[in-house]
Amino acid sequence: MELLVAWENINLMINKILHIGWWTSEYRSGGSILHVETLMEFLKRDGMQNYYFCGGRYNLLYPKPYIKVWFKDYTTIFELVNSPNLIWSFGNPEVHIKQKEIENNFLKVVNRVKPDVIHFHELESLTGSLLLLSRNLNIPYILDIHNYWYLCPQRDLMDMNNKICDDWEEGKKCASCLVLPTSSKVGWMYVGYLSNTWIHKIFNNLIKIAHKKRIKKEKIRKTIANTNHISTYKARRYFFISELNKVNAIIYPSKRAMELYKTYGVENQNNYVKLPINKNYLNILAKPYKNIPPTNVRFGYIGSILPHKGIHILIEAFNMIIKEKGEKCQLLIYGSGDSVYEEELKRKCRKNIFFKGKYLPSQINEVLKNIDVAVIPSLWEDCSPIVLNELKLSRTPIIGSRIGGIEEAINHGVDGYLFTPGNIVELSGYMNELIENPLKIRQFMERINFSFNIDNYINQIKEIYSLAYENNRKNK
């Protein structure tokens, strides 16, 4: 949809933006967190006031929900401590729809801030009825899509067998789709007030043991549907579809994400497609073209270590070629996530595969410099991973799954390759081709044509705010 309303015509009426999300970079990593913090920082630069209401930590010394106010250079944080909607709480659809204590704390923040526009980013650890409350309060509000949580409690539209879920059976499949990540009931151990303490370390080890036992148990006994929840999962999806059709504007991270939501019934006409942002983009250097093709091609993965990211597919593909090409290639894996999954991956590795762990944002150029060709082997409909833009800005060729927003970022055979998700043979074939013909790596680098202007992005977001403001005023 074109942006038609000039920001200058209405900017005096819009100054205070209340952002809604989960967590901050101090306690949790993730693309959506980087996105919202970058957005707030640059809105502040342009003279706007930011406020951030987000789910937060858990304080065992005071179990009731409460707001903790603290400050960053570009925003005031209203952290909801002890949220009743626990992190990774996939099995409580009732709380995803409505929760009174969360609503009450949200209203306290709204009454204090009196925002001109509410910008929703994520509602995990919060509750869906905040959308309804915003509309009832006659406050213009928009929604940024970062995943599929509004359709799927697990966020990724994947079932328990790591297959794309294209038939939810009116809630029945949701109820039977037991999620294997660590239970939400111990989520506070990872990012709560006890983080990085000896207590955290002890409980973290206990959680790993319990998680392994749970996986073993699931291999023996198939999950039985919790029939008490089927109707609630059904109500959950239809609630969010209805609410998304009523927001003043929706911002999607890719055309594919917009198409998928439309397939499930989200037909809001005020929609836009905007790539996710990260202030790190400004620091990424384009790598120089190599006059001499690499004799030892370094493939690399950058991102979360999670099953739906498909790292096991990448490792199996690399293992297929390592026996014959051992002196001609390496695989570097950067990131962290599910420690149990990571241990399983390491057991599958042959030689020349190196797990490099976490890295700081300031180290991104060093990480990118170490990779000749990046691989994004996602199995889920990945909306638009931020790493895609980082790789393209650095002129790093990509072999990516033909799925989600990844397909939109790679011109197959011109600046990279696309392969069928999960197809180990196809992926290994493309990797082998670049090992045998390393000159193609330089050719791909020369054809990567990507730039990002953050000033244009911020101006477009402000125009969307003004459109939402105008649309809301007309509907009063």
pLDDT tens digits for 143-175?
Answer: 999 999 999 988 899 887 778 998 888 988 887
CATH code (residue 409): 3.40.50.2000
In this predicted structure, what is the pLDDT of residue 223?
A: 47
Question: Is there a single domain that holds both residue 225 and residue 288?
Answer: no
- What is d(CA 138, CA 246) in angstroms, rounded to the nearest whole number? 12
- What is d(CA 434, CA 238) in angstroms, rounded to the nearest whole number? 47
3-state secondary structure of 45: helix
In this predicted structure, what is the pLDDT of residue 215?
A: 53
Least confident residue range of 187-191, 298-302, 363-367: 187-191
Question: Is there a single domain that holds both residue 162 and residue 138?
Answer: yes
Residue range 440-465: mean pLDDT, rounded: 94
- What is d(CA 396, CA 102) in angstroms, rounded to the nearest whole number? 44
Length reported for the chain: 476
Q: Which of 318, 329, 334, 330 is nearest to 366 (CA)?
A: 334
In this predicted structure, what is the pLDDT of residue 324?
A: 78
Question: Is there a single domain that holds both residue 163 and residue 203?
Answer: yes
Question: Is there a single domain that holds both residue 233 and residue 307?
Answer: no
Q: What is the pLDDT of residues 421-431, one digit of tens each?
A: 999 999 999 99
Question: Is there a single domain that holds both residue 381 and residue 241?
Answer: no
Question: Is there a single domain that holds both residue 429 and residue 459?
Answer: no
Output the pTM of the full model. 0.90
Range of the domain at 220: 7-277+454-475
Q: What is the pLDDT of residues 205-229, one digit of tens each?
A: 666 666 555 555 554 444 444 566 7
- Domain-embedded: residue 2: no
Question: Is there a single domain that holds both residue 296 and residue 271?
Answer: no
Highest mean pLDDT among 1-10, 226-235, 262-271: 262-271
Least confident residue range of 23-37, 220-234, 263-277, 399-413: 220-234
- Domain-embedded: residue 126: yes
Question: Is there a single domain that holds both residue 127 and residue 27?
Answer: yes
In this predicted structure, what is the pLDDT of residue 319?
A: 95
Question: Is there a single domain that holds both residue 341 and residue 271?
Answer: no
- Domain-embedded: residue 426: yes
Q: Give every CB contact of residue 133 below 8 A, 6+ residues apart in sequence.
A: 103, 106, 107, 110
Q: How many domains does the chain have?
A: 2
- Domain-embedded: residue 1: no
Element (DSSP H or E) covering residue 142: strand 141-144
- Domain-embedded: residue 273: yes
In this predicted structure, what is the pLDDT of residue 88?
A: 65
Q: What is the pLDDT of residues 308-358, one digit of tens each?
A: 999 999 999 999 998 777 788 999 999 988 888 899 999 999 889 999 999
